[in-house]
Amino acid sequence: QVQLVESGGGSVQAGGSLRLSCAASGRTFDGRAMGWFRQAPGKEREFVVAISWSGASADFADSVKGRFTISRDNAKRTVYLQMNSLKPEDTAVYYCAARLLAITSRKSDEYVSWGQGTQVTVSS
């Protein structure tokens, strides 16, 4: 099992930026694609972005394309989510997740390890 800890959440005004980090520990991090999901109050958890093990491939939800970027530093066992041009509708708890496979997926049930989540609040 991979343990995941998110950090970097907070409160910003619309148009601002935040950078989330997800640090992995425990059993192998190697070979795993990583994803970010979010859940707003009263809504289901939704896919945001995922990155392959190599970092060469990333998949973005349409709602964040062009505003969010994802990167990873495998030596540091950390994945980053840079969020720019934030909107009030981006307000949610953001979760980091790890797959067993190296390629990305948008399906939350294909991720086997989850962090505890970090709150992102964007005010208008």
Span 25-57, pLDDT tens digits? 977 788 999 999 999 999 999 999 999 999 999
pLDDT value of position 26: 75
Confidence grade of residue 104 (pLDDT, cut at 50, 70, 90): very high
Residues 11 and 118 sit within 8 Å (Cβ to Cβ): no
pLDDT of 8 above 80: yes
List CB contacts of 26: < 8 A, sequence separation 6 or more. Answer: 1, 2, 3
Nearest to 123 by CA among 7, 10, 8, 6: 10
pLDDT value of position 112: 94
Q: Which helix (H) or strand (E) holds 88?
A: none
Distance CA 24, CA 27 (A): 9
pLDDT above 70 covers what percent of the chain? Answer: 100
pLDDT value of position 106: 98
Average pLDDT over residues 85-101: 97
- Tokens 């970090």 sit on residue: 118
